[in-house]
Structure 1
């Protein structure tokens, strides 16, 4: 048990056995023995391991084991196996704490995701557009901008994990399941518009599962779903009109900050709905490339999204007497003293 946890935490930290051993003051061979459960670290070594791996000592003894089921990565070609391992280790650690919290509740207050739109087989991108509109209608969202996508997905039974693993530009998202509950992973290093598109894209996978005709590319369909879900047709027409010979980049910037969709995605959306021609889209993208906007769009980035659901449920369980302070501190990865200050709404000591 401890060996597997050391191995997982080392992967998450991106350390070799040699590097970890040097930080702890032991040999790489001893690290190997620990990871294969051929030897048990002393309490002193365990404390050093926890410090080097940035985990609490309770991590090594946590009983819950999580296996990610149906893992689907959206990754760029430059994403290394080492990076994906770090991401997966981080996700498994957070998922284990989710499952540990879920298991202490007599009736877990988060519903399971069970939405399936009543539509025929989806065989065109226009039909995908209609599915996105139906989801908004079924969930009573109207056609206005969605201010908090993470909160919306979590209210529908989709857990969202925000990973702090760096090198986010080489990773586009992950969807998996834990105990049958879907989870979507985004990075804390992305701008908000990229987080939102990934969240909406992964929602598209869940909603369109089993509905797509074989002739339709699933990734393309989910991209169209994400754009339509975040920026409905009526919103685009209201702001840009139905037919234009050109659009100004500043218009795309305003759309981005109203709907939480990148300028590039708004440009694609404009061409998808026929507001501008494909040729005009191509010309504008050429200008984007010359200005360096394909890598970093101009102006202020769209604010990042945050998830507070896990912390909220821990404090709720604490208030209801479902968990003790020590258990809550373990779940929140802080000391009991720090938790006590948090509960009393006291500032941290300087």
Structure 2
């Protein structure tokens, strides 16, 4: 049976308005409205055109409901600067990513979520509490994505249609999800991941979005990646831009994030802070990171893909099970390659009776 909610999801996922979709499919706008309201079922040839225009298999429109996350529970940075279309595209992408996550969970035993609820803590104290709870001490975090995954967070990359969105996170059925923009520098993506961790532990209970909430998450991120005692132990003397570039590699953060943190810890005076930021702007370092680090990717999907290949299961099998295209799977996978297996069983899925237990290693360094 044709599922109207899936048409709405597909349209929003691609960033189409009803008017644009109607023009592309060559039907009246009222027809699209009727299809999505369940008042009329599109004819077979219309479904084929919808499938082609929206880049979803015909079967996608006949599968079970997919519920997109409630915008009120999603940590979008600023809805004022985000169009409704971009918001809906991001929510549509996240709904499909949740479907993929659920499929992986049926075949593999991933770590249970292990995030403390710190809604009553100040950001600095909350960052210290998470580090203590996870046994990190003052060590720099080598890979934030790996660390989050090791503690039960499901981390996905943002789809191309959603790249205007920095990053966002939410809780769904007791599972935390984080979505990261992979077009940003490695340092900025790490800060975004820590920022979203801040939302997950500080704002778990759907607090209203505000600038204060965003500042709390950003303060958490700085304190989590650059612990006070670690920074004070490594920074002394006159701070210059060349020195910042050298120091940033200790914590793999951007020069702007490090400058902000040094000012927050009173290592820099107001005048030094303004002077350094002016020089960073002049050199273009606020937009283009000097001596950038490598972008982080997922260890979960790398291990899942490896095990699936051993079972003769390729990307097309997963896409078929989820009623999407293989390219759709790619958008959430941080660009990881999933090699096709010639001669494999293309319809096979992972058996839930023998779920491999993935061993995920929290990434820190001494």
Match in the other structure for 1:24? 25
**Where does residue 130 of structure 2 map in the other structure?**
135
Output the TM-score relative to the length of structure 1: 0.77
Q: 1:60 to 1:304 in 2, by over 3 A?
A: farther
1:160 has 2:163 as partner: no
CA gap 1:193/1:50 in 2 versus in 1, 3 angstroms? farther
Looking at structure 2, the residues matched to 231 and 177 of structure 1 have their Cα atoms a distance apart, in angstroms, of 26
**2:102 is aligned with 1:99:** yes
Which 5+ residue runs of structure 2 have no aligned equivalent? 206-211, 328-336, 345-366
- Structure with the bigger RCO (C-alpha within 8 Å, sep 6+) is 2
Identify the residue that residue 341 of structure 2 maps to in structure 1.
343
2:67 aligns to what? 66
Task: Give the match for residue 111 of structure 1.
Answer: 111
RMSD: 3.7
Alpha-carbon distance in 2 for matches of 1:193, 1:340: 26
Q: 1:345 to 1:144 in 2, by over 3 A?
A: farther
Task: Pick closer, same or farther for the CA change 1:57–1:340 going to 2, 3 Å.
Answer: farther
Give the conservation status (yes or no) of the 8 Å contact 2:167–2:178.
yes
Contact 2:170–2:200 at 8 Å: present in 1 too? Answer: no
Please give the per-residue CA displacement for 1:77-96, whole angstroms capped at 9, x wherever unaligned: 42222211111111112112
SS at match of 2:74: strand
- Name the residue aligned to 2:280: 288
Alpha-carbon deviation of 1:302?
3.5
- Give me the whole-angstrom Cα distance separating, in 1, the residues matched to 2:313 and 2:38: 34
Alpha-carbon distance in 1 for matches of 2:315, 2:53:
28
Whether 2:300 is the aligned partner of 1:309: answer yes
Residue matched to 1:37: 38
The question of whether the paired residues in 2 share the 8 Å contact of 1:76 and 1:172 is answered with: no
Answer yes or no: is 1:122 the counterpart of 2:159: no
Q: What is the TM-score normalised by the length of structure 2?
A: 0.74
Counterpart in 1 of 2:360?
none
Question: CA, structure 1 residues 333+281, in 2 after alignment: closer, same or farther (shift >3 Å)?
Answer: same
Conserved? CA contact 2:141–2:251, under 8 Å? yes
For 2:53 and 2:294, locate their aligned partners in 1 and report how far apart those are by CA, in whole Å.
32
Q: State the shift of 1:157 in Å.
A: 1.2
Distance in 1 (alpha carbons) for counterparts of 2:321 and 2:169: 26
* Pairing 1:78–2:76 present: no
Distance 1:300 1:5, change over 3 A: farther
How many residue pairs match? The answer is: 326
